């Protein structure tokens, strides 16, 4: 008897198309992350061209509001750095560390976390890393302990800062995609204690990590090499004793005052002017995105006009360069991802809504992975959070898991991690033979896991 051969079941065209588009996004992320610098944003342009002209997808909305907020914050922080105000803050931090050198493993991460919270970016901590290493060596404390924890803490402070792009992005995402009008202070009520808890637990674990230098046989053996010994004890990096002009202190006061204004305006909604919305003409307070943009621009202008800042050198500061690179990456990656999500929202809702609703922890895992791929907490949130909200994820979950956006410590390729390795002359802060067994892995995992756990509980209690 003749039988008809079985025909393999075909994959629906829509599923195949979505899969190809996702592959394009992932390929752009991987290539861009490998190249580093501005490559992430540039490579995303190739993805956009393929998606729009090849797959005929309507371009999504680029994150213009968030990019403008980043630009304003970067401009103000870079002006602060050029004025010498950032060094003033660093000097206060160093005085604290040198006053209690035996507690450097605990105080170092707290100092770098605080600097990030105040400035909105983890790129302000590079001056502190050689100081932390110097204090550790003088007390025979294994530098890996505070160095790795401090680098991790600096990045964890991003989600606890009232002027960071990640925090502003969450507020904007929730306002645009839900009816929840949570303010910056309300988000910070969850993210600050969650982030700080993760930093403290990571630091406490680090205090017992490895052997002290005077008991480390491998290190003591290496000291027999005169060149190595000279490099380890070559001298101190310090800001102690450095005299700053009055303008540097004035710039610091202006910057900290601007942060206070942002927090107050976010907490007290009635202080913001009311304007009619486009639909219905209802009066609503000025958005926090615009508030931060205005306040940061004004603060930067005050520093420029009153603190003898050389305007032409602002763009050459480390803060401006690193911030501009991050902004460019967010522009390309978020626009590319939004294009695919908007085009296939109905299909994604039917396929993923149930999974995300029943297993909310999967949102944290996706955010963690994307955060690593794009090397940016703000970019990760801009990619994943809007999609998750549109798929039915509770906004409370979004806020509770904000700490999961920090995933780029998994591979030690981030500038602050590389700087920590470079500033440790003992070699204890290092990348292992298998790449993933590096100094930052365990502190990072402890910090993120703790932050997510504490954040979830607090979000349920305070916002649920």
How many residues make up the chain in this entry? 464
CB 177 within 8 A of CB 227: no
Alpha carbons within 13 A on the beta-carbon side of 132:
34
Distances (CA, A) of 362 to 268, 354, 404: 35, 11, 11
Q: Are 307 and 251 in contact (CB under 8 A)?
A: yes
Q: How far apart are CA 109 and CA 166, in angstroms?
A: 20
Neighbouring residues of 66: CB distance < 8 A, sequence distance ≥ 6: 165, 168, 169, 172, 289, 330, 334, 378, 382
The predicted pLDDT at position 252 comes to 94
Q: What is the pLDDT of residue 10?
A: 43
CB-based burial of residue 89 (10 Å sphere; 0-12 exposed, 13-18 middle, 19+ buried)?
Answer: buried
Helix ranges (DSSP H) in 375-439: 377-390, 395-400, 415-422
State the angle between helix axes of 345-358 and 318-343 in degrees (0 to 180), rounded to the nearest 10: 100
Please measure the distance between the N-terminal and C-terminal CA atoms of the chain and give it in whole angstroms. 66
Cβ neighbours of 200 (radius 10 Å)? 19
Q: Cα dist. 390→62, 99, 173, 177, 349 in Å?
A: 17, 51, 11, 7, 7
What is the Cα–Cα distance from 286 to 379, expressed in whole angstroms?
A: 24
DSSP for 95-122, please give it.
HHHHHSGGGHHHHHHHHHHHHHHHHS-G
- Tens digit of each residue's pLDDT, the chain (464 residues): 444 444 444 445 467 888 898 889 888 878 886 776 788 789 989 999 999 999 999 998 887 877 887 788 889 989 999 999 988 988 988 899 999 999 999 999 999 999 899 888 787 777 788 889 989 998 899 999 999 999 999 999 999 998 888 888 898 888 888 877 788 889 999 999 999 999 999 999 999 999 999 898 988 998 888 888 888 887 666 788 889 999 999 999 999 999 889 888 877 878 889 888 766 667 878 877 788 889 999 999 999 999 999 999 999 987 788 778 777 877 888 788 778 877 876 666 566 656 666 678 888 998 998 888 777 888 889 888 988 888 888 899 999 999 999 998 987 777 788 888 888 889 899 888 777 788 999 999 999 999 999 999 999 999 97
**What crossing angle do the helices spanning 345-358 and 13-35 adopt, rounded to 10°?**
80
Query: CB-based burial of residue 192 (10 Å sphere; 0-12 exposed, 13-18 middle, 19+ buried)?
Result: buried
Number of Cβ within 10 Å of residue 25's Cβ equals: 21
Give Cβ neighbours of residue 283 (< 8 Å, ≥ 6 apart).
274, 275, 276, 277
Backbone φ, ψ for residue 409 (5° rounding)? -85, -10
d(CA 374, CA 383): 10
Whole-model pTM: value is: 0.78
């Amino acid at each position: 008897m003749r039988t008809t051969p079985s025909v393999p079941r075909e994959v629906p065209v829509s599923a195949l198309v979505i899969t190809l588009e996702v592959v394009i996004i992932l390929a752009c992320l991987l290539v861009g992350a490998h190249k580093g610098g501005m490559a992430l944003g540039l490579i995303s342009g190739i993805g956009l061209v393929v998606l729009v002209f090849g797959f005929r997808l309507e371009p999504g909305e680029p994150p213009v509001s968030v990019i403008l907020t980043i630009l304003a914050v970067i401009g103000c922080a870079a002006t602060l750095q050029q004025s010498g105000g950032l060094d003033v803050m660093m000097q206060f931090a160093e005085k604290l560390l040198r006053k209690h050198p035996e507690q450097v493993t605990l105080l170092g991460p707290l100092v770098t976390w605080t600097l990030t919270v105040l400035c909105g970016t983890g790129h302000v901590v590079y001056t502190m890393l050689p100081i932390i290493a110097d204090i550790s060596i003088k007390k025979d404390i294994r530098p890996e302990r505070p160095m790795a924890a401090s680098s991790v803490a600096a990045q964890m402070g991003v989600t606890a800062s009232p002027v960071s792009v990640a925090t502003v992005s969450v507020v904007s995402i929730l306002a645009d995609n839900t009816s929840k009008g949570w303010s910056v202070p309300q988000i910070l009520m969850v993210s600050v204690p969650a982030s700080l808890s993760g930093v403290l637990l990571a630091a406490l674990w680090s205090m017992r990590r490895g052997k002290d230098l005077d008991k480390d046989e491998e290190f003591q053996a290496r000291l027999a090499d005169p060149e190595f010994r000279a490099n380890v004890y070559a001298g101190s990096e310090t800001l102690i004793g450095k005299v700053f002009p009055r303008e540097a202190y004035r710039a610091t006061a202006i910057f900290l005052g601007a942060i206070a204004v942002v927090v107050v305006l976010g907490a007290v909604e009635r202080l913001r002017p009311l304007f009619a919305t486009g639909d219905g003409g209802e009066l609503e307070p000025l958005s926090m995105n615009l508030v931060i943009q205005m306040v940061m621009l004004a603060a930067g202008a005050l520093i420029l006009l009153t603190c003898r800042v050389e305007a032409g050198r602002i763009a050459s500061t480390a803060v401006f360069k690193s911030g501009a690179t991050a902004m460019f990456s967010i522009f390309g990656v978020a626009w590319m991802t939004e294009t695919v999500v908007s085009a296939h929202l109905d299909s994604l809702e039917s396929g993923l809504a149930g999974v995300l609703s029943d297993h909310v922890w999967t949102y944290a895992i996706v955010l963690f992975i994307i955060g690593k791929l794009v090397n940016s907490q703000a970019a990760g949130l801009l990619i994943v959070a809007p999609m998750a909200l549109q798929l039915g994820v509770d906004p409370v979950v979004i806020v509770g898991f904000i700490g999961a956006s920090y995933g780029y410590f998994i591979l030690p390729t981030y500038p602050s991690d590389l700087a920590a390795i470079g500033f440790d002359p003992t070699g204890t802060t290092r990348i292992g033979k298998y790449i993933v067994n590096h100094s930052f892995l365990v502190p990072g995992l402890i910090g993120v896991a703790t932050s997510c756990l504490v954040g979830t509980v607090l979000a349920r209690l305070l916002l649920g």
